[in-house]
Amino acid sequence: MQESVPSAGRARSRLSPDERRRQLVGIGLRRLVERPIQDLPIDEVAAEAGISRGLLFHYFPTKNDFYAAVVAAAGRRVLRTIAPDDGVSGDAALEQLLHRYVEQIGRRRESYLALVHGRGPVGGDEDLALGLRMAVARLVASALELPEARAPVVHGWVAYVEDRALQWSEAAPQRRTPSSELVEHCSEALRVLLALR
């Protein structure tokens, strides 16, 4: 099923259901930067897309379904942003990932907080934070070729890194210590934790 999209000064165009879902999620992602997901008005999203609120619910049966799709897309975006380059592994991959993770939180602190620490209808803040931390932990474990038994250690370490990066990013950019110092500290912390039995 395809439907018409009114747009200012242009002829109507038709989007497939998948294109429309992507458009709506994209609008949600842009708005997530401005406010927590639970404060995102469905009416504004529909209006920006040029559709009615009722038609939005054709693509996402409930407000929670829409919010969950936006949050999942935001999580995937974070993971793509911080992933090490193809062909890079071991300590070099860890350093890339850590640097990118810290910088991502520093640049997008408010949207990151809205994503993982916002409260509301999408499983609660703890579920969101745990899901993203687990995904980051899997990236780290894969880069370092760690056995599955080390997953809980890496997951706990990711929570530590997130907390340190959030504290670091709270300072004004000109007053922050260099991110390389935080990356080095967190990298050393992981080595110490992995050495424990």
Tens digit of each residue's pLDDT (9 = 90 or more) over 129-185: 678 889 999 999 999 999 998 999 999 999 999 999 999 999 888 888 999 999 999
**Mean pLDDT of the residues in the chain:** 85
- In the chain, what is the straight-line distance between the N-terminal and C-terminal CA atoms, in Å? 57
Q: What is the pLDDT of residue 123?
A: 46
Domain boundaries, the chain: 3-65, 71-195
Q: How many CA atoms lie within 13 A of 65 on its CB side?
A: 8
What's the token pair of residue 148?
């599955």
Query: Can you list the pairs that 38-43 forms with residues at least 24 positions away whose Cβ atoms lie under 8 Å?
Result: 38/67, 38/118, 38/119, 38/120, 38/121, 38/122, 40/67, 40/70, 42/66
Tens digit of each residue's pLDDT (9 = 90 or more) over 38-75: 788 999 999 999 999 999 999 999 998 998 898 889 88
What's the token pair of residue 136?
């980051």
Q: Distance between CA atoms of 86 and 65, rounded to whole angstroms?
A: 33
Q: What is the pLDDT of residue 48?
A: 94
Mean pLDDT of 99-111: 90
pTM for the whole structure? 0.78
Q: Does CATH number 1.10.10.60 belong to domain 3-65?
A: yes
Q: Distance between CA atoms of 5 and 77, rounded to whole angstroms?
A: 27
Confidence band for 92, pLDDT divided at 50, 70 and 90: very high
